Chain A
Amino acid sequence: MEKPFILHMLTTAKNLSPFDVNMAMDAGWVSAMSYTNIEASEVQGLVQDAIFSRSAKNLKRTSIFIGGRDTKQAMDMLKIAKRSMIPPFEVSVFADPSGAFTTAAAMVAAVEFHLLSKFNTTLEGKNILALAGTGPVGQAAAVIAAKAGANVRIIGRQLDKAQHAADLCNNEFGEGKTNIQAGADADKAQYINDTDIVFATGAAGIELLSVELIASAPQLKVAADVNAVPPAGIAGISAMDDGKLIEGSVNGAVGVGALAIGNVKYQTQNLLLKRMIQSDKPLYLHFEHAFEVAREYMKTTHYK
C-alpha cells in the first residue's frame, strides 16, 4: 500500500494560516498536521521525530512546511531543519512565513515581466523603492530584487526601522551579495526622482504613493502593489491591473495590482508544494526557489 502524503506544518504563531492549509491540500498533500507555538529550539526534535518514523522510500511522501510571521525566524528554522536531517533519513522543507516568500517572488517576477515587455529592460541596475518594505513581503522582495542586480531602498515611516530591515536583509538573507539601503518615508519625494520601480507592501488601506508623486517620477517604469483593500497602496492602480498604464505617469509607467500578483503567488506556492511531492531528493525551499518558480510560471503564461 502506498503511504499517504503527510505535510507537517510548523508555525511560531498560535495557529496555522488556513491559506497554507488549503494550499497544501490542493497541491496533493493528503494529511496536513499542525504544530503551533513552535520555537526554534524545538525544530530539531520535531524534524527527527518525522524522519525516523518512515522508511527512506516513504520519506519521499513526507515533508515539512514552516510558516509563522517572521522571515528571520523562518529562515533560521529552515536551516535548523536542514541540519537535523540524518541521511538517508531526510525530507523536504519549505519556508514561506506569512506567505511572504511566494508573494514577494510573484511580485518581483511580474514586475520583471512588464519591465521587459514594456521597456525592454531587466532588473539589473534599476533603482527600486520598497515602500513600507520593513515587513516580511517587503524584505523578501528587496532581497530577491537586489540579488537580481537592482539597487533597492527599503522605505519606512521610521528611518531606524527601515535601516534595521535593510541590515537584516543584507546580513541574513543576502549572502554578502546585496547592498540594500534604507530611507525615511518623509524623504520619498526626493527618492522618487530617480526611481525606476516601486514595490508597495504596506498594510491594507494605506496609500503609500500619491498621484502627485507618480507625476513627479520621470523614470518610473513599473509599480506593484500587494494591497487588495481600497484605497490602493499606489494611487491609480486597481487590484486587477496587470501591466495597465498608470494615469498621470509622465514616463508611461505600468501598474501591477494585488490580484495579478496574487494569482502568480498562488501558482508559485502550489508548484513549490507539488515540487516537494514529486522530488526524488529532499529540497530546502525559500524565497530564492519561489522566485525561480515564479519566473518559470511567468515564462509559460505571459512571455510569447
Chain B
Amino acid sequence: MKRSILHMLDPMPNNSPFDINMALDAGFDVLMPYSNVKLESVHGLTQDAIFSRSMAGVKRTGLFIGGRNLGLAIDMFNAAKQAMIPPFAVSVFADPSGAFTTAAALVACVEKELRIKHGKELKDCKAMVLGGTGPVGIATGIIASLAGAHTTIVDHLYLETAQEVGLQYNRRFGCDLHAAVAGTDREKIDVLSDVDLVFCTAKAGIQVLNAKVIKELTQLKVAGDVNAVPPLGIEGIKREDNGAPLICAEKCNAFAVGALAVGDIKYHVQHDLLVSMLETEHPVYLDFRDAFKTAQKILA
C-alpha cells in the first residue's frame, strides 16, 4: 500500500505544531508542510496533488488547510474543492488556527450541559461570545447561531470590529450574528444581563469575566472557556471543569465548562476528522459543520 500523505497548506510563514502532532497521531505517514501559500496557488497545488497518484494513491492523499484567518481558509477550502477533477479528487479538511474544531467542541460541550442541567436547547437561548472577533470566537458564533441560538459577538474595544464580523460571516454562511462592545465591568454587566450562555474565546492568559461581573448575572446557565493558560478567561472556573457549578455566580444557577474539557473534545474531533480522511472511500470535505456534528456525536 502506498504511504499516506497529508499536504498541509498554510498562508502563514509556518504550520502549527498542534496540527503536525495531530496529523501524525491520526496515522498519516508523511506530512508535507507548504507555508506562505496564497489563495491563487491553491488550485495549482491541489491539481499537482491529485494528478500525481493512481486512484489507489489518491485515497491515501489529503489536503489540510490551516492559517489564522477563517475567511481566507474557507476561500482556500472552496478553491481546493473546485480544483478536483473526479475521479481525481482527495479529501480536504480546513481547521484554521484549530478554530473550527475548538469552536465545535466548545459549543457542543455547552449544549450538553444546557440540556442536562437546564433542560434547554441552544435555540431557546441568548449567547454572547466574549473575545469573539478572533478565529475561535467567530467560529463559535457561527456554529451557535446556525444551531439556533440568538448569538452576539462581543469585542472589547470597538463595536465596528464585531459588526464587521457579523457582516462578513452572515453573508458567507447564512448565520445571524449580532454585535456588541464591552470593555469595562459595567459594560459587561449590561450586555450580559439577559444572557443564558457565555462563550469565552479571548486570547490565552487574559481574564475576560471577573467575579464582580459574574455576581450580577441573573440568567446565565452555562459558561464555557477555551483559555488554558492562567489567568483563565473566567474567574473561578477550573480548566478541568465539565459541568461544575460556576463558583462566582450568586444570582443564577450557572455551570462551567473549562478549557481542558473543551480541549479533550476538540482533540477527539480533530483526530476523528483526520482519521476519516484516511478511511473514507470517497473524498470528504470537512469544515466547522462536520466538526460540530462530530463533537455532538462524541458527546452523545
A interface, CB within 8 angstroms of B: 3-4, 6, 8, 30-31, 33-38, 42, 46-50, 52-54, 58, 62, 86
Contact = CB atoms under 8 A, between A and B. Distances in A.
Contacts of A33: 15, 17, 20, 31, 33
A58 B13 contact: no
Contacts of B17: 8, 33, 35, 46-47, 49-50, 53
Most chain A beta-carbon contacts within 10 A, residue among B15, B18, B33, B35:
B18
Contact of B24 (A6, A34, A36, A49): A6
Nearest to A33: B20
Interface string B19-54: 111101100000101010000000000000000000
21 contacts: A4-B25, A6-B20, A6-B21, A8-B17, A30-B24, A31-B31, A33-B15, A33-B31, A35-B17, A36-B13, A37-B13, A46-B14, A46-B16, A46-B17, A47-B17, A48-B204, A49-B19, A50-B17, A53-B22, A53-B25, A62-B21
A3 B28 CA distance: 11
A9 to B, nearest CB: 10
Given A8-B20, A48-B229, A35 B204 contact: no
A303 B13 CA distance: 48
Contact of A54 (B13, B15, B25): B25
B169 interface: no
B25 A58 contact: yes
Given A48-B204, A50-B21, A38 B14 contact: yes
B264 to A, nearest CB: 10
Contacts of A36: 13-14, 35
Contacts of A52: 18, 228, 263
Contacts of B35: 36
The 7 closest A-B pairs by CB, nearest first: A50-B17, A49-B18, A53-B21, A53-B18, A49-B17, A35-B14, A8-B17
Interface string B255-275: 000000001000100000000
Q: How large is the interface on B (under 10, 10 to 19, 20 to 34, 35 or more residues)?
A: 20 to 34
Give the dominant DSSP class at A's interface.
mixed
A30 B21 CA distance: 12
B268 to A, nearest CB: 12
A41 to B, nearest CB: 13
A42 B15 CA distance: 12
A37 B36 CA distance: 12
A30 B31 CA distance: 12
B265 to A, nearest CB: 13
Contacts of A48: 204, 229
A67 to B, nearest CB: 14
Interface string B130-153: 000000000000000000000000
A115 B228 CA distance: 52
A153 B250 CA distance: 67
Most chain A beta-carbon contacts within 10 A, residue among B14, B17, B263:
B17
A30 B14 CA distance: 20
Contact of B21 (A37, A54, A86): A54
B95 to A, nearest CB: 12
A31 B5 CA distance: 13
Contacts of B14: 35-38, 42, 46
A198 B229 CA distance: 48
B278 to A, nearest CB: 13
Given A33-B17, A36-B14, A50-B18, A86 B228 contact: yes
A62 B17 CA distance: 10
A36 B33 CA distance: 12
Nearest to A4: B24
A86 B231 CA distance: 12
A30 B27 CA distance: 13
Nearest to A54: B21
Contacts of A50: 17-18, 21
Contact of A49 (B16, B31, B267): B16
Nearest to B271: A53
Contacts of B33: 33-34
Nearest to A31: B24
B9 to A, nearest CB: 15
Contacts of B22: 53
Contacts of A35: 14-15, 17
A3 B271 CA distance: 13
A37 B263 CA distance: 29
Given A37-B13, A86-B229, 17 more contacts: A3-B25, A6-B24, A8-B20, A30-B24, A31-B20, A33-B15, A35-B14, A36-B13, A46-B14, A46-B17, A49-B17, A49-B18, A50-B18, A50-B21, A53-B19, A54-B25, A58-B25
A146 B267 CA distance: 48
B267 A53 contact: yes
Interface string B206-248: 0000000000000000000000110000000000000000000
Nearest to B27: A1
Contacts of B19: 49, 53
B22 to A, nearest CB: 5
A52 B31 CA distance: 19
A2 to B, nearest CB: 10
Nearest to A42: B14
